Amino acid sequence: MNHQNPKADALTEMTALEARERLIGGTLQASELTDALLERISEREADIGAFAFLDPEQARLAAKRADDYRATGKPLGALHGLSVGIKDIVDTADMPTENGTPIDAGRKPRKDATIVTRLHAAGAIVIGKTVTSEFASRQPGKTRNPHNPEHTPGGSSSGSAAAVVAGMVPLAIGTQTAGSVIRPASFCGVVGFKPTHGWIPRTGLLAHDRALDTVGVFARNVADAALIADTLVGYDPLDADTRIMPPPRLLNSALSEPPVTPALAFVKTPLWDLADSETKESFVKLASTLGNTCAEVTLPEIFSDGDRAQRTLMGAGIARNLGPYYEHGKDQLSDYMRQAIEKGRTIPAVEYIEALETRETLNDGLDNLFDRYDAILTPAAPGEAPHDLGTTGEPIFNALWTMCGVPAVTLPLLRGPNGLPVGVQLVGRRGEDARLLRTARWLTSVVETA
């Protein structure tokens, strides 16, 4: 696509870290960067449909405030002047939050979600709300894949992934209960990072299931993902799964060199047969290219229960948390959502409790693996984005890791037979997100120089 403004293009193609250095150093104004991003959005939004809500004047005012604040000489936040897209299931007091459903059309939350408060405190500009599938589930929204608009961008964080790859924003927020960060990042060809469950608070977000729901981020590279995640991690007394912990220093770790060459476990998972043949070939070739640093590891048989256990937790959680929408607006739900809530209501309590116990058993097995390996190497999706806007694709290579609550990151390192991106997923031990991001940046450099 030919753009008319080379200077604006140069600004929108910068990494978040590059832009931050210039913003803090004073060689770039937040207003300049915001105008360039808004120009890119106006060029591409009609084709891609990444935004559920956008108010350019509001964004420009926020950028002017950032520039005025910098002029005072006071200390600047880690995200000073950087624009962020926010998935439209995250409450924003000054923008509608509609959860991808006509039932919530025009809904205006009374206050910001905790993560939005943290973004503002870090100096970020919330440029708009990005499209989510219906209730962050499987019924697609309007977003198209920027690489080929006839292909799905994935879901449910479709708008966030598409906006980053299209140069509309350098950073974006998503959420994952099955594969809603990692899968669209794979399909759209960006970095998607889902931290350890409970690291980022979910206060003010649409809930699916407490045991699974995780906030994640999208960026163009690993360091940028670490930059924004650093500002979001931390204890929130209103989210019982968060905990008091020292700052994880994710960016510092991501930028550092591993003390020794990382060891990777190539794990096909019990669902390997569902991957496209080209994806299988690419991963076998990648593992071979990595040589002695990568060994194939077979998970114990009990891991074949992981996918089923995740579906049990999510099914019951959706029935519980989205039940009121069913009661008051059933006719405005998709067939998929109606059926999901009805099915979820039939899940026995004992089955839900067993699924929670399965999670701990699986993590015991993973701890043994992570005693020997820095990260698991595995597909992020079965293959390229499907040529079908009626689907968001399958989360079959994500659900197990979400179930276990472990950190995962996908890297846009491979291409499929149609030239579309295919993500390489790395999975780490619970709580070792910094180590995972350091390994991810190392792998990116190894593959790019191979």
Mind telling me the catalytic residues? 87, 156, 180
Torsion angle of the four alpha carbons 217, 203, 81, 2, in this order, in degrees rounded to the nearest 10? 40
Tell me, rounded to whole angstroms, the distance of Cα 198 from its chain centroid.
15
Instruction: Give dist(CA 333, CA 326) in Å, integer.
Output: 7
Instruction: Give dist(CA 392, CA 217) in Å, integer.
Output: 18
Q: Are strands 125-130 and 83-87 parallel, antiparallel or unpaired?
A: parallel
| C-alpha dihedral sign at 418, 147, 176, 236 | positive
Backbone angle region of 136, left / alpha / beta, with phi > 0 → left and psi within -120 to 50 → alpha? left
**What is the CA angle 86-254-9, rounded to 5?**
50
Could you tell me which residues come within 8 angstroms of residue 401 by beta carbon, excluding any fewer than 6 positions away? 182, 194, 408, 425, 427
Q: By the 8 A CB rule, do 356 and 313 touch?
A: yes
Residue 155, Cβ neighbours under 10 Å: how many? 31
DSSP labels for 304-340? GGHHHHHHHHHHHHHHHHSHHHHHHHGGGS-HHHHHH
